[in-house]
Structure 1
């Protein structure tokens, strides 16, 4: 799918406020409602827009602690990578997980209510997972920036 300037504008507006009506979006990008709705459906169908979310204040829902956890596996074979990924997908404490290059295989962002919750996560889940060679944790002291917004600048169509 080719993404043009109007698509980029739609995506930018939806990232800023996904509750805008199709009519509001259409006016902002210079389309009528029908073509605007069609473009949004095409972006969704193509997987460019994967979903819509509410951004939650973690402090206000009782999850003030973010821990960045680096994990090294014993081996980096496909079956071990798959096993680790499948386990991570089941654990709600893991907000983000990235397969990495470098000294560690995975970087996780774990959100918890308190230190005891993180200790339980570590002891009951992560350290019990077969194939984990080492774990290093770093506690975030504060959140400087957190964003789900993709930086779409004006440029030639993709």
Structure 2
């Protein structure tokens, strides 16, 4: 199995595990039409080769008190190495930051945060973002409604 190509059985294993990572090996093997031992070996190989990064439970953010979802377009004043690395490290350390991407366009970063309410966002903006050296502008979009949220890749 090479990192750039996957056979049909491996793709089916990945699809099923994206739907239900808690599926038993026997059920997985049955769903993809393989016997249990080769299926288990293939899954382990997918893990070892880095196709499967980790297994996780998806938690409903609203039910745990995090109904506010914001997309932040953040611009930095300069791209000196220290500014960029400090900003990126700060984003990695913040629990409310769910995703952070360096992007093209009118801003430098797109950051997704989930929070309890607007007061928590205000605290995050003023006590975290605005205190980071090099942050020059933050444009925030508040999600009014979640139209689609998907974690499975289209294999």
TM-score grouping bracket, smaller chain normalisation: over 0.9
SS of the residue 2:141 aligns to: strand
TM-score, normalised relative to structure 1: 0.92
Tell me if 1:43 matches 2:43.
no
2:76 matched residue in structure 1: 73
Name the residue aligned to 1:118: 121
The separation in 2 between residues aligned to 1:13 and 1:115, in whole angstroms, is 38
2: CA distance, partners of 1:138 / 1:21? 41
How many residues are treated as equivalent by the alignment? Answer: 152
* Root mean square deviation, CA, Å: 1.0
> Is 1:21–2:29 an aligned residue pair?
no
Shift of 1:46: 1.2
Which secondary structure state, in structure 1, belongs to the residue aligned with residue 144 of structure 2? Answer: coil
Deviation at 1:78, TM superposition (A): 3.7
The corresponding residue for 1:128 is: 131
Structure 1 ranges of 4+ moved more than 4 A: none
Structure 1 position 43, deviation (Å) = 0.8
5+ long unaligned stretches in structure 2: none
**Aligned equivalents of 1:109 and 1:43: distance in 2?**
29
Report the TM-score when normalising by structure 2. Answer: 0.94
